[in-house]
Structure 1
C-alpha cells in the first residue's frame, strides 16, 4: 500500500517516528503488514491488563479484518474484556493511584473494587455477574459429558445472548465478542490463575464440578501444535504484547515440533515483535533479546525481529491503527 493511502495516524508516525523506539514501531508495523499481505498468518499474544486498558476498541477491528489468525492470552485478558462489556459504568478510575496509602487500598477492597493500576474492576457487577452464567454453561457441559477449553466456554456464553441484558458498551468494542463471532482459534495458558479459573477450582473443591470438564494446558499445546502444522505453509508471525506465559507458551510450539516430535521440516516463526517495558537483563525471559530465541529453535537467522521497549497501551494501538490504515 502506498503511503498516500494511509490515514492521519499512520501518516503521522511515518513522518515523525524516525529513530530509536519510535522508528521500530514503524518498522514493525510495516513488516507486520507486509507479512499479512503476502499471505502469512499472525499470532498475537496478550499479557498484562490489555483488556482492562480497553484494547478491544481497536483490537476487535483487527480481528474482524482478519489481521490476526490466532490469539494467545492470559486468563485475565480473556475474562476482563467481557467484564468491561457488562460492567463498564461500574468501573472506578483512580488517577492518583500512585499516592494511595495501604488503608486507602483496603478501603477499595471493602467496596468490592479490585485495582489494576488506575482502574478498579467492580466485584459484584463484573466477577459475580459472569459467574452465575458461566457456572450454568460449565455444569450443562459436564452433565452432557462434554469438555471444552476455557475460551470455548466464554464463546458459548457470549454467543448465547445471556449477557446482552447487561451490555454497557457497544459490542463492536469487545475483542472477545469479535473473536467469538469469528470462532477465532485461541490458547489461554495458565488459565487457572485467573478469576474465573479460581472460581472453577472452587467448584471442583466443593464437589460441584469435575476438573476434567475443563480442557487442560497440555491439550492447548497439542491443539496449537496441530494448528501450527496445518497453517505454517505460508508462514506464521508472532506479535507479542508484554511478556509472561501468554508469549512464552505459544512460541515454544516450534521447537517442540522440530526437536521433540522430530518434524525437522517445521518452519520457524517468520516474524517476531515484542512490545515490553521489561528492559534487557540477564536471566530474563521477557527481557531477552530476540536473537536468544535462535538458540532455542524458535526464530531463524533471517526472521525479522523487533523489540519495542515501551508501554504497550501506547504502542499497540498505534501499530494496529497502521494495519487498519487509520
Structure 2
C-alpha cells in the first residue's frame, strides 16, 4: 500500500459523522488562513498534560496560530512537563483504581490527570521556587504582570534550562514566548500556581495581591487586540474543550458592540469546537454555535464546526492537516 500523508489519509477516509466534521473544520481552518485570517486557539481540558505541545508548538512556529486563550492549568502544565517529564508516572489501568490506590498515589505526592500522574516536588514545587522570586521582586518594585508574563520571565531567565527533560521544541509555551504571541489566561486563580500565589499572599510573602494582573485586565487587553487585529484580518476561534478558555475570548465581541456601544465590530470569522460534552441541561459550558448567534458572537454565515470527540485524538490530526496544506 502506498504511503499517504495525514492530509491524504483524512481526505480519503474521513467521510461521515465526526470524521467528516474534522475534515471540514480542517479545510475551513486552511481557507481562513489562506484568505489572510488570524486564528486564536482556546485551550481547555488537560491538553498540556496530554502533550498537545508536540503539534501545537509547530502550528505556532509556522504562523498557523496567532493568539492563545488558555486555562491556568494548561499554561503551567506545559512547563511542568518541560522540567519533570521523566518523573511522570503513567497509570494505564486508571479506570480500575480503587480508592485505596488513589490514596497511595496521594501519599506519594503524585497528582493524577486521567492516566498521567504529575509529581509534586519535581514539577510543581520546582516551578514554585523559581517563580516565587519573581513574584516577590515584582511586589517589592510595585510592578504588576500577567500570569503568562511571569512564566515567560522564568523561562527567559534560564534558571529552568538545567531541568529540561523534553525537547524544548515540544513546549507550546516556549514557542508562544519565542513568537511573543498574544495570550490571555482567564481564571488563572484556580490553577496550582494560582493557589500557591494566594497562599504566599496569605503568609505575607507577597504584600499586594494585585502584583498579578486580573482577568478583567486580560479582557481589556483582549478588546484592544481584537480591535487592532480585525482592522485588517478576520479573527477565528478554534476551541479545544469547554469552559472559561473558550467562553472568555468569544465574549469580547458582544462586549465591544453591546456594552461599549461601538459600531461595526466584526463577528468572529471562523469557529470550531472539539468537545465530548453533550449539549444538555447543566453539562455543557458555553453555547452551541447557532446559539452563539443570539449572543452576537457569530453570524449566520460564519463557518461553524463542532467535532464531538476526544481532543487528544482530533487536535493533532487536524493540526497535521493544516500544516500539510
Interval of TM-score (by shorter of Structure 1 and Structure 2):
over 0.9
1:124-203 aligned at under 5 Å gives the runs: 124-203=121-200
Give 1:38 deviation, angstroms: 1.1
SS of the residue aligned with 2:112? strand
Determine if the alignment matches structure 1 residue 319 to structure 2 residue 291.
Answer: no
- Evaluate the alpha carbon distance shift between residue 248 and residue 287 of structure 1 in structure 2; reply closer, same or farther with a 3 A threshold: closer
Aligned residue in 2 for 1:38:
35
Whether the aligned pair in 2 keeps the contact of 1:44 and 1:239 (CA below 8 Å) is yes
SS of the residue aligned with 1:321? helix
Give 1:212 deviation, angstroms: 1.0
Whether the aligned pair in 2 keeps the contact of 1:281 and 1:288 (CA below 8 Å) is no
Give 1:284 deviation, angstroms: 5.1
Determine if the alignment matches structure 1 residue 19 to structure 2 residue 25.
Answer: no
Whether the aligned pair in 1 keeps the contact of 2:253 and 2:265 (CA below 8 Å) is yes
Whether the aligned pair in 2 keeps the contact of 1:9 and 1:318 (CA below 8 Å) is yes
Determine if the alignment matches structure 1 residue 225 to structure 2 residue 204.
Answer: no
State how far apart, in whole Å, the 1-side matches of 2:50 and 2:141 are: 37
SS of the residue aligned with 2:237? strand
Give 1:285 deviation, angstroms: 4.3
- Evaluate the alpha carbon distance shift between residue 190 and residue 168 of structure 1 in structure 2; reply closer, same or farther with a 3 A threshold: same
- Evaluate the alpha carbon distance shift between residue 99 and residue 283 of structure 1 in structure 2; reply closer, same or farther with a 3 A threshold: closer
5+ residue gaps, structure 2, are none
Whether the aligned pair in 2 keeps the contact of 1:242 and 1:274 (CA below 8 Å) is yes
User: What's the TM-score, normalizing by structure 2?
Assistant: 0.97
Whether the aligned pair in 2 keeps the contact of 1:281 and 1:287 (CA below 8 Å) is no
SS of the residue aligned with 1:250? helix
User: Which structure 1 residue ranges, 4+ long, deviate > 6 Å from structure 2?
Assistant: none
Determine if the alignment matches structure 1 residue 257 to structure 2 residue 256.
Answer: yes
SS of the residue aligned with 1:324? helix
Give 1:282 deviation, angstroms: 3.7
Whether the aligned pair in 1 keeps the contact of 2:277 and 2:284 (CA below 8 Å) is no
- Evaluate the alpha carbon distance shift between residue 37 and residue 250 of structure 1 in structure 2; reply closer, same or farther with a 3 A threshold: same
Give 1:288 deviation, angstroms: 3.6
State how far apart, in whole Å, the 1-side matches of 2:134 and 2:147 are: 11
Aligned residue in 1 for 2:304:
305
SS of the residue aligned with 1:298? coil
Q: Deviations over 1:26-45 (max 9, x none)?
A: 10001111111111111100
Give 1:142 deviation, angstroms: 1.7
Give 1:314 deviation, angstroms: 0.4
Aligned residue in 1 for 2:48:
51
| Count of residues in Structure 1 that have an aligned counterpart in Structure 2 | 321
Whether the aligned pair in 2 keeps the contact of 1:10 and 1:325 (CA below 8 Å) is yes
State how far apart, in whole Å, the 1-side matches of 2:76 and 2:287 are: 29
Q: Deviations over 1:183-217 (max 9, x none)?
A: 11111010000000000000111111121100000
State how far apart, in whole Å, the 2-side matches of 1:154 and 1:315 are: 28
State how far apart, in whole Å, the 1-side matches of 2:297 and 2:7 are: 30
State how far apart, in whole Å, the 1-side matches of 2:120 and 2:198 are: 18
Give 1:49 deviation, angstroms: 0.3
5+ residue gaps, structure 1, are 1-6
Give 1:283 deviation, angstroms: 5.2
State how far apart, in whole Å, the 2-side matches of 1:75 and 1:287 are: 18
Q: Say which of 6, 24, 28 aligns to 2:25.
A: 28
Q: Deviations over 1:276-297 (max 9, x none)?
A: 0001224554374210000000
State how far apart, in whole Å, the 2-side matches of 1:45 and 1:250 are: 8
